[in-house]
Chains A and B, each alone.
Chain A
Amino acid sequence: MNIALSITKTIHDWLYSIMPETAAMYAEMVLIALVYLGIFAVAGLFLVLLERRVAAWFQLRIGPNRVGFQGLLQTMADAIKLLSKELTGTDKADKFLYNLAPYFVIISSLMALSVFPFTQEFQAFDINIGIFFLIAVSSIGVIGILLGGWSSNNKFAMIGAMRSGVQTISYELSIGLSLLTMVLITGSLQLSEIVEVQKSGWLIVQGHIPAIIAFMIYMIAGTAETNRAPFDMVEAESELGAGFHTEYSGMKFAYFFLAEFINMFIIAAIATTVFFGAWLSPFGITESIPVLGVFWFLLKALILVFLMMWFRWTFPRLRVDQLLTLEWKYLLPLNLANIVIMALLVWHNLTISF
């Protein structure tokens, strides 16, 4: 087993200089775990706040602006409130599965977070099958939703879970195929190598027309995969209460909620890495300062997150049959044709690279 865990070279060297090798290895593992848990919590809370502010902006309201500067501590306060709330549950629920379900969702999104190249060095787990690993891990999260919906012993939760299952399984196909289209250009699944290829132009520029089509399909499928509006039949308030997490309260509900927002970030981060050059700056303007990679990565990811929020507050909700028609009759054939076009482009060297 040679899992190359690393945060940055400086911290790595510093740890190995003050400790014996085994201790330093364990210390590094613990440090990475803590850093990523920190990113997870902060990003989740911040995204919830962002969503509320964006929603308010779209609806000509002000949104949360009292707790802290411009409401920055609002979601922090919400989290503390949720921590102190009573954990309720249904009487005849399957308690074991009921308690297990949130962890499936949250662990799968936490695992996916570990492979993103935030800068050249700040990437915890540079596995050689990068993108495939992301798809594999994100396919597990749906188990949590299905279990949560079934074990609550509630009809609405059950219907929500079934819808979620249908939706996630269908749209996973589109996500996989649209990412595969881009892998044709890079010739590698490893995320660091994908970034390396993009030093001669971001992939969305290199692959021009088919890449833009792939990006559009990816964003639609990604929005559906995270169960967000306009594809949020899973928790359609007007029909199902709160959908699969109707019976959850307190911190268990917060796990589902946080995981949903982190998944949104993950979808945006995958798009950033594969289409927009991850930590690479536009035209290489800050190439001499590698630390700024984090800034560029987060900027690109947040723009894409904003795009998804924009979808949410612009489009009305689809019906289940419309959702499945969109995937199986439009996106999937389009995607397959797109892959063939991209293969032809790569074969005849028609990609644009600087």
Chain B
Amino acid sequence: MERIIFYCLAAVIIAFGIASVTSRKMLRSVVYLSFVLISIAGIFFLVDYNFLAAIQLTVYAGGIVVLIIFSVLLVHHIEMELEMAKASKKIVTALACLVGLGVFLTVIYSYDFKVINNSLTTSTADIGAGLLSYGSGGFILPFEVISVLLLAAMIGAIVIAKGKKLTENNNQSQ
């Protein structure tokens, strides 16, 4: 049963991944991308990483895809189609992809995966404790660094959004 679901999800991911890069209609490829992201959430559900799966759904499928759709809605008309890339570009991209695939496959096949019989799902409490612990295996430093980064991004967004108004106010006060 789990095997069947896994192969279904894998087939969906591959099929829509290919469809997403080959489609010449922009919004369609975004929707194919969202299918890929949702199926990845499905794989996380399959391996009992419920929290990660829900994060995948909210952040990627619900957040980023909606933002991409939004920008497509703003700039793209329904009858427009994407241009075909030049042949030289295609070859370079294909080579880069093949190198990436090679690295990926060698890593996967050389790594010795340990099979655990009775898996326990990670609870939210464990994740929270892990994020805030400063002992070994704790993630307090990356957690703090990311929060500072987010704060900087937020301030940056406000400055960009207010842009002209802020500088005008400053000029007046001088």
Chain A residues close to B by CB (< 8 Å): 1-3, 25, 92-94, 96-97, 100, 127-129, 132-133, 135-137, 139-140, 142-143, 146-147, 149-151, 153, 158, 161-162, 165, 169, 172, 188-189
Contact among A25, A92, A128 for B123, CB-based, below 8 A: A128
A143 touching B69 by the CB < 8 A rule?
yes
A169 touching B27 by the CB < 8 A rule?
no
CA distance A354 to B78 in the complex (A): 60
Per-position binary interface string of chain B over residues 30-72, scored 1 when its CB falls under 8 Å from any chain A CB and 0 otherwise: 0100100010000001111011011101100111011001101
A143 touching B66 by the CB < 8 A rule?
yes
Inter-chain pairs besides A94-B28, A129-B50, A132-B124, 12 sampled, C-beta below 8 Å: A1-B45, A93-B78, A94-B78, A143-B31, A143-B34, A143-B66, A146-B69, A147-B31, A151-B27, A151-B78, A165-B66, A172-B62
Query: What's the minimum C-beta distance from B42 to chain A, rounded to whole angstroms?
Result: 10
Residues of chain B within 8 A of A158, CB atoms compared: 73
Given A97-B27, A132-B54, A150-B78, A140:B38 Cβ within 8 A: yes
CA distance A1 to B55 in the complex (A): 18
B57 touching A137 by the CB < 8 A rule?
yes
Question: Across chains A and B, which 3 residue pairs bring their CB atoms closest together, nearest first?
Answer: A139-B62, A136-B57, A136-B54
CA distance A147 to B2 in the complex (A): 32
Give the nearest-CB partner of B63 in chain A: A139
Given A140-B61, A143-B34, A143-B69, A150:B51 Cβ within 8 A: no
Chain B residues close to A by CB (< 8 Å): 1-2, 5, 25, 27-28, 31, 34, 38, 45-48, 50-51, 53-55, 57-58, 61-63, 65-66, 69-70, 72-73, 78-79, 121, 123-124
Residues of chain A within 8 A of B25, CB atoms compared: 94
B124 touching A189 by the CB < 8 A rule?
yes
A150 touching B27 by the CB < 8 A rule?
yes
Contact among B31, B54, B55, B61 for A97, CB-based, below 8 A: B31
24 contacts between A and B (CB under 8 A): A1-B5, A1-B47, A93-B78, A94-B25, A94-B28, A96-B28, A97-B31, A100-B31, A128-B124, A129-B51, A132-B54, A135-B54, A136-B54, A136-B57, A136-B62, A139-B57, A139-B58, A139-B63, A139-B66, A146-B66, A147-B69, A150-B72, A161-B73, A165-B70
Query: What's the minimum C-beta distance from A61 to chain B, rounded to whole angstroms?
Result: 39
CA distance A325 to B151 in the complex (A): 22
Residues of chain B within 8 A of A93, CB atoms compared: 78
Residues of chain A within 8 A of B58, CB atoms compared: 132, 135-136, 139
CA distance A153 to B69 in the complex (A): 15
CA distance A139 to B61 in the complex (A): 8
Residues of chain A within 8 A of B63, CB atoms compared: 139
CA distance A191 to B167 in the complex (A): 50
CA distance A94 to B63 in the complex (A): 23
Residues of chain A within 8 A of B53, CB atoms compared: 136
Give the nearest-CB partner of B55 in chain A: A136
Residues of chain A within 8 A of B1, CB atoms compared: 25
A133 touching B54 by the CB < 8 A rule?
yes
Contact among B47, B55, B73 for A162, CB-based, below 8 A: B73
Given A97-B28, A189-B124, A2:B48 Cβ within 8 A: yes
Query: What's the minimum C-beta distance from B37 to chain A, rounded to whole angstroms?
Result: 10
CA distance A150 to B62 in the complex (A): 17
Query: What's the minimum C-beta distance from A54 to chain B, rounded to whole angstroms?
Result: 31
Residues of chain B within 8 A of A162, CB atoms compared: 70, 73
CA distance A26 to B133 in the complex (A): 43
B66 touching A142 by the CB < 8 A rule?
yes
Residues of chain A within 8 A of B61, CB atoms compared: 139-140, 143
CA distance A1 to B8 in the complex (A): 15
CA distance A142 to B28 in the complex (A): 16
Residues of chain A within 8 A of B66, CB atoms compared: 139, 142-143, 146, 165, 169
CA distance A211 to B84 in the complex (A): 56
CA distance A128 to B63 in the complex (A): 22
CA distance A245 to B132 in the complex (A): 46
B70 touching A146 by the CB < 8 A rule?
yes
